[in-house]
Amino acid sequence: MKISVSSAPLTDIKKDAVILFFQELENLLPAGNTKLAKQVDALVKTSPFKGKAGQTAVFPMNGKQIIVTGIGEPGRFHHALLEQAAAAAVRTGKAAGLKSFAMASTIKLKGLSESDYHLLAGRGAAWGTYSYDINKSDAKKAPACSLAFCGKVKSRNAIKTAEAQGEALVSTADVANMPGNQATPESIADWAKKMAKETGLGCRIMNTAALEKKGCGGILGVSQGSAKEPRMIILEHKGTDTKAKPIVLVGKTLTFDSGGISLKPGKGMGWMRYDKCGGMAVLAAMQMIGKIKPATPVIGILGAAENMPGSNAIRPGDILTAYKGKTVEVLNTDAEGRLVLMDALGLAADYKPQAIVDLATLTGACIVALGSSASAILGNDQKLVDTLIKNGELAGERLWQLPLYKEYTDDMKSDFADLSNLSKSGGAGTATAAAFLQEFVPDDIPWAHLDIAGTAWLESPKPYQAPGATLFGARLLAQWLVALD
């Protein structure tokens, strides 16, 4: 979506629709729009619109459409609601055949800076243009959409960032939503290589031979039951700060997870195309970084593999050797993500980074604990954890910290190897999985783990998005990395 700034008043702007935000029934138009506010308020009073989060309504006015969109109750506002309201408004407009939109350059919302408003509303509007229909035989190319912020703007940096991030989200979403027969480890590697070339990132792909030479027994073990070979995808933004150590982002990228021999129930297994969403968040974040080009060097690592119950698949009781030599007893082949990540984290540590952050749709226990309202964060460095939580709030992606006690590490010990991939007690699944991962990160490197199992995709439609990948994590990573400059 092309996002611009216009000096024209909202009432005069030559666009198909004007988007207005409401907090319940309070119009959030800034000062100077008294006549428009009165006209819209009069229309709202006679409609079912109550300004609830994600609720929209359309009113014809003076040759254009007015789309009102709600952010909900004043006492329960968080940044995601504004982004979702913008996305819902554009989706509503697109459904009505509208292509060009306008918003006020500021918003009357306490505690929200102008730059935050531009980033959230602009990025949300871009996300609202997206639909996944490439596999529909009657799909037509969607017309290009545009958005203008009307009025004085102090700085256009946030608007440029919103446009860049929106483009990255929309383009990555197609890969994230593809089924396992289309989004294979090899095809994702090819897409990453093409994206890297377009955005000025470095790209290195490790195939089976390279992984074997390196001794990455985790990702090789997970993939050995599949006809699809694994790939370790490494993207690099060099940055301009030559003295800075890099940040390394690691994403679990299981292109399809059947559970392996520890087969998942058939009901709902089709959603396991989204077990790659940790890697998709890293892929989108790296594209954002490639477009925005912060000073800090950033490395993105995607461990891409397919977990299938083929004749050569790993068995419960098998022992795998991770990169750098630790051994792991496989108690359940459906706890495969951590086996891929143990190699990726070892490779991440080789960069001697200032921090490592991994993202993974790792445990069903996280969904039980937090549902779809927040992702879990655990780590070995409280400053890093606090920083990511803060940037998540600003980016509209909420994190909730869970503890990482020594008892959880003890619970992952094996009688036959250094570690097992499942806890002995069966409890605290999210924390014990994180404790397992911690064993592959040197103590002197700050590290955080984000379990995005409950937030990575939607199984039912929302006003702001159809079912599919949310790319949760990409926004907060970009927010954090840009703030480091």
Q: Which amino acids are annotated catalytic? A: 264, 338
- Supply the DSSP symbol for 16: S
Q: Look up tokens 């602009």; give the residue.
A: 122
- Tokens found for residue 413: 């010990």
| Rounded CA separation 190/418 (Å) | 35
Is the Cα dihedral 310, 208, 172, 53 positive or negative? Answer: positive
Helices 474-483 and 382-395, packing angle to 10 deg: 110
| Rounded CA separation 347/441 (Å) | 10
Residue (of 295, 279, 457, 293) closest to 358 by Cα position: 279
- Tokens found for residue 299: 């490395």
Please check if 386 is assigned to a binding site.
no
Tell which phi-psi region holds residue 447, choosing left (phi > 0), alpha (psi between -120 and 50) or beta: beta
Please check if 336 is assigned to a binding site.
yes
* Residues in a beta bridge with 130: none
Residue (of 233, 299, 303, 310) closest to 275 by Cα position: 303
Tell me the DSSP string of 89-146: HHHHHHHTT--EEEEESS---TT--HHHHHHHHHHHHHHHT----TT-TT--PPPP-E
Q: Give every CB contact of residue 455 below 8 A, 6+ residues apart in sequence.
A: 372, 373, 374, 375, 397, 470, 472
Please check if 275 is assigned to a binding site.
yes
- Which residue spans within 192-238 are E strands per DSSP? 202-206, 231-237
| Rounded CA separation 100/144 (Å) | 9
Helix, strand, or coil (residue 294)? coil
CA atoms within 13 A on the CB side of 299: 23
Beta strand 146-150 with 100-104 is parallel
Torsions phi, psi of 458, nearest 5? -110, 135
- Tokens found for residue 225: 């039951």
Q: Which residues are annotated as a binding site for Mn(2+)?
A: 252, 257, 275, 334, 336
